[in-house]
Amino acid sequence: MRRVRSVYKVIRSIFDAFSSRMTAFTGTSTAFVVAVSILVVWGITGPIFDYSDTWQLVINTGTTVVTFLMVFLIQHTQNKDSLAVHLKLNELIAATRGASNRLVNVEALDEDELATLRAFYVRLAIMSKAHRDLLASHSIDEAQARHHHKHHGGGQ
């Protein structure tokens, strides 16, 4: 079982490195020039192959396979990047005094919970806008306390 896990880790590590490099490369101008060059060569060879079905099949098959594989490579890289951003944000929330720890791991909430949380922040924005103080709060709890304190007894 250890050997299987070890092999899996090696394969995952190779795939991770490969997908990161390929995603980075395919986003470059060099990759774009290569893709355009392939299309130009394919187009130029049309008359040579009399625009045959095989000639068309080559580009159709090639682009389909590349697109199919790129979906997985891009999604893998995007998932990894998204996780890294979430972890960085979680660290900032956890380390920032006054920030609401309720937002740590907020990405794990379902859509209804996120909609409820968003509605709360919309209310905070409306309260801040109504009182012309866009920088009044740093967390949910702090925002409620400040708003209540400022507008319902004992101003600043």
pLDDT tens figures, 64-104: 999 999 999 999 999 999 999 999 988 888 888 777 788 88
Q: Which pLDDT score is estimated for 136? A: 55
Q: Which pLDDT score is estimated for 51? A: 95
Burial of 65 (0-12, 13-18, 19+ CB in 10 A): exposed
Element (H, E) at 41: helix 29-44
**Tokens at 16, concatenated:** 């991770």
In the chain, which residues have pLDDT < 70?
Answer: 132-144, 146-151, 153-156
Q: Which pLDDT score is estimated for 45? A: 96
Q: Which pLDDT score is estimated for 155? A: 43
Q: Which pLDDT score is estimated for 156? A: 41
Q: Which pLDDT score is estimated for 95? A: 87
Residues 143/151, Cβ–Cβ less than 8 Å: no
Helices 29-44 and 53-95 cross at an angle (nearest 10°) of 170
Q: Which pLDDT score is estimated for 62? A: 96
pTM of the model: 0.65
Residues 77/23, Cβ–Cβ less than 8 Å: yes
Q: Which pLDDT score is estimated for 124? A: 80
Domain ranges within the chain, ordered by starting residue = 2-95, 109-156
